[in-house]
Structure 1
Amino acid sequence: MKVLSIDKLKRRIKLIPETSIDLLNIYRLIEPGDTVYSETTREVKKERAYGEVDSERVKIKIGIEVSKKTADPLMRRISLLGIVKYVDRELDIIKKHHTIHLEPEKPIEIESRDRFPFLLSLAKTAATKITHEILCISIDDEKFAVIHISNAGVKILRTRDLTPPVKTLMQHQEDDSFRRNVEEVIKIVEEELEPRRKIEVVLLGPSVMIERFSKEIKARKPELGRLIKRHISASSGGIEGFLEAMRTGAIGRNLKPLEDAFIVEDAIRHASKNPELAKMGVEEVYRAISSGKRGIVLVTENYLWSSLEDSRIQLILSEAEKGRIELRTILSGTEAAEKVDSLGGIVMINK
């Protein structure tokens, strides 16, 4: 989430949600009575001098006092219904009903008398988030994968089987095979790097393999070699090696999917050692929190979207806002989310 401005006097925050998790955070903080401003387009009719009427679509900034909020799990979209109280053009729409749709990359302003401290806390948390991206080249002598990692999630860009080494080949033949593999990988990586200018490139795989691969890249493409910031040792390359490194935290924890993977693995270890401390499924988690238990709650993005109207989920979210529990939303489409989904979509580890 990008924070564009904070006006403490007007108790107003302008921001840009970047992911569906950002939308979920905004959804649970906005309440009826708050004012939300957004840009939209509207058809405006004009009467010409000769009497004909035509129309044009113009961009306007509109502000509504929220009366109702809804979440669409299928579209991953938040809708705010309310009464228009501000418009930056002379249009006869004040006090009329209007709906603002919140979507990723669409700027909004939120003004709240009662909820401003929570919005301010959300903005401060967003401001501390690291926004860089990682391009991970996970490789061994048989396969490789190119994976893009950002706070929005993990995306597997390419996977490919390489020409495996044959023990009976002469050394020069084996070297030729390796160079062909390097050429193929370089070509693919350059294609993926083209639209991404500021990015950290890491090599991951068996240490001997990635050292040799790095040396070859730097000799052939010095400009690409300079982008490689880290070498990460793993027992294998490809997707398997990448997932192994995520689970152990070897890639790091400075981006959300990396931190999610580490936190979920840590929670599973705690649950295995102390099963009595683990609560699985919304009913168990709800009962534990209702009885005063404290701890960390892990819930997947998909589960939260589909359960926002559940009164038990609303209580859990309320307790998280009050700081009584730690709530972590796990990005869907990741191995970490699959593990939490297999346990009911939401789990809690008591302190």
Structure 2
Amino acid sequence: MATTKPKVYIVIYSLYHHVYKLSLSVCEGLKASGVDATIWQVQETLDDTILEKMHAPPKPDIPIITKDQLHEPDGFLFGIPTRFGIFPAQMKALLDATGQLWASGGLAGKFVGTFFATASQHGGQETTALNAVTFFAHHGMVYVPFGYCDTRMFSNDEVIGGSAYGAGTIANGDGSREPTETELALAKIQGENFGKVVVTFAKGKALASGGSDVSQKPAITTTNPQGQTQVQDLSSPTAVGTAAGVAAAGTAGAAAAALPHSAAAGTTGATGTTTGATGDATGTTGTTGAAGTTGTTGTTGTTGTTGTTGATTGTGKPTDAAANQPGGAKKKKNKLAWLCCGAGDTTD
């Protein structure tokens, strides 16, 4: 059966082409991992007169993305030049227009990562990512950090852009520094690693779609402020296993057994007389165990024994969750004041 390659959009803003050059290496890595990758740029908000005074070169010859296209791919890698440690206005204009996608859950479950360009080493190659994560979280996206996956990221022999949050480059205050071979190599690795995550998920999704009943396919459910629910099918084998486990746990009355022995827990346990687990939650009711004996032949003998044991320990034995609670209040940690280091730059 022919399979379709998963799709990743690289979405960038690049005034002086530093981010654009990184994106070419990211795209190369994505394609090497078996992903259908496309580079897009966001709409410029500055007019030509301002751009001319800023000595900005012509824009890269790549298409401009709109909010209506954001639902299409399986994942995104955003190339973000920093402005005082946060998004540039051009990138944020696109993201701020995604309210309808948020309300419908259109971006939920999509993979996402980041890479950067700053003027200085400490100009925002971590804070820009941290500010981006809030957007991803509100949309229910799956953030994939770069990590420290290459020994060159530990090197102090040369100036290297990037961080655990993504690859990066440092442009100098006047934009004179170009991405180095090391920075471009790390950008390619990020593309490869991100692509492997997306491809692995796509393969699992395809297997789940071809080998399980449609009614059993997993989904992400999102609810908007008006209370309207949107269900998005994911068909992930992991989600299928989780859903099956939750259903089995509910049938067995495991939720009642996990609670402290109380009236509410005992009531829940009594309803699950088809399983032996409920006997432990309602030990005071000896007849419940006997009723269980008439239910299922194979395990009901154990059910009766468990019911008797419950009668001895049902009201006095705390659960493991209660036993493991700390004895005293946690010591409060001193709050550290954040220091903002490195102004935002316009050399991306």
TM over 0.5: no
TM-score (norm 2): 0.23
Q: Relative contact order: is structure 1 or structure 2 higher (C-alpha 8 Å, sep ≥ 6)?
A: 2
**Higher helix proportion:** 2
